[in-house]
Amino acid sequence: MSSRLDHLVVTAPTLAAGVAYVREALGVTAQAGGKHPRMGTHNCLLKLGPAVYLEVIAVDPEAAAPDHPRWFHLDREQPPRLAAWVARTGDIRAAAAHSAAFGAIEPMERGPLRWEITLPPQGGLPFDGVAPILIQWQTEPHPAALLLDSGCTLAGLHGFHPQAPAIASLLRAIGFQDAFTLSLPPGGQAPGLVARIATPGGLRTL
């Protein structure tokens, strides 16, 4: 079993606010994505490599509220932030079996795209978003291949968490193959993620 970094997730109270946050941080504008009917959300996307992208996601005000929690803690009012990341795998059931933090496996769709994804309990994030959500794509090509070239590439991803050793062990268990560094949070700092992204304007941080 192996897994790779698939995409970063920026959550926001509105899609416009999330796109503006990314534009301010990186100097580029995410392109329109689509809607997730089961979750009542919509997104915009930014290509970061041949099979890596950044997703800006928010509650879709035109969609009916689902009868279950939305993913990525989107039922909570929070400012735009890099909240989570997603790792793709060829065997999501075997990978998800390594931790109850991954949650249930559910089918999803957006337009012609189909995939299965782990949904932690109550729309939460595994290890505060520092451990990945898992995805297994069921359609081709990869969504990043359909995006415009943004001139951006992911240069590095770092997570801060009090349980960093446990997260590192979990990443080894799912055969994670890409660079992802972990450390304990500096004194008083909340768990979180920092991404370094090479942009047309130089190296930026998200």
Contact at 8 Å (CB) between 131 and 167? yes
pLDDT at 188 over 80: no
**Residue 145: predicted pLDDT:** 96
75: phi then psi, degrees, rounded to nearest 5: -80, -10
- Mean pLDDT value of segment 64-80: 94
**Residue 189: predicted pLDDT:** 87
Single pTM value for the model:
0.97
Confidence of residue 186 (pLDDT cuts 50, 70, 90): confident
- Mean pLDDT value of segment 69-87: 96
The token pair at 57 is 């996601």
Report CA dihedral (97, 114, 176, 123) to the nearest 10 degrees: -60
Q: Which CATH superfamily is domain 3-150 in?
A: 2,3-Dihydroxybiphenyl 1,2-Dioxygenase, domain 1 (3.10.180.10)
Cα 158 from Cα 82, distance rounded (Å): 11
Distances (CA, A) of 93 to 18, 32, 56, 97, 135: 31, 31, 26, 6, 10
Measured distance between the N- and C-terminal CA atoms of the chain, rounded to whole angstroms: 30
Tell me: cis bond preceding 79? Omega within 30 of 0 counts: no
Domain extent listing, the chain: 3-150
- Mean pLDDT value of segment 52-60: 98
Residue 154 DSSP SS3: strand
Burial of 83 (0-12, 13-18, 19+ CB in 10 A): buried
- Mean pLDDT value of segment 107-129: 95
**Residue 176: predicted pLDDT:** 97
pLDDT in tens, 139-171: 999 999 999 999 999 999 999 999 999 999 999
Confidence of residue 187 (pLDDT cuts 50, 70, 90): confident
Supply the mean pLDDT for the chain. Answer: 96
**Residue 77: predicted pLDDT:** 85
Confidence of residue 62 (pLDDT cuts 50, 70, 90): very high
Share of the chain above pLDDT 90, in %: 96
DSSP 43-58: EEEEEEETTEEEEEEE
